[in-house]
Amino acid sequence: MLKSRFSFIPCGYYFVAFYLYFEIFTVAARWVKFDSNLSRVKFEALG
């Protein structure tokens, strides 16, 4: 019973980790697009 419980726990952790990774990746991709525009403005300002 203990073994089956321990084999079940990682599945939940993997699912949550994958979901969080996907959320962070989509938000990061959005921020990278936004940040690339900001860095371009910074580089133009610095000359």
**pLDDT tens-digit profile, the chain (47 residues):** 556 655 666 677 788 888 898 998 888 888 777 777 777 777 677 65
- DSSP output for 11-45: HHHHHHHHHHHHHHHHHHHHHHHHHHHHHHHHHHH
SS3 at position 1: coil
pTM: 0.41
Predicted pLDDT at 6: 58
What are the extents of the domains in the chain?
A: 21-47
pLDDT at 34: 73
Average pLDDT, rounded, for the chain: 75
pLDDT at 23: 92
Q: What is the C-alpha separation between 27 and 15, in angstroms, rounded?
A: 18
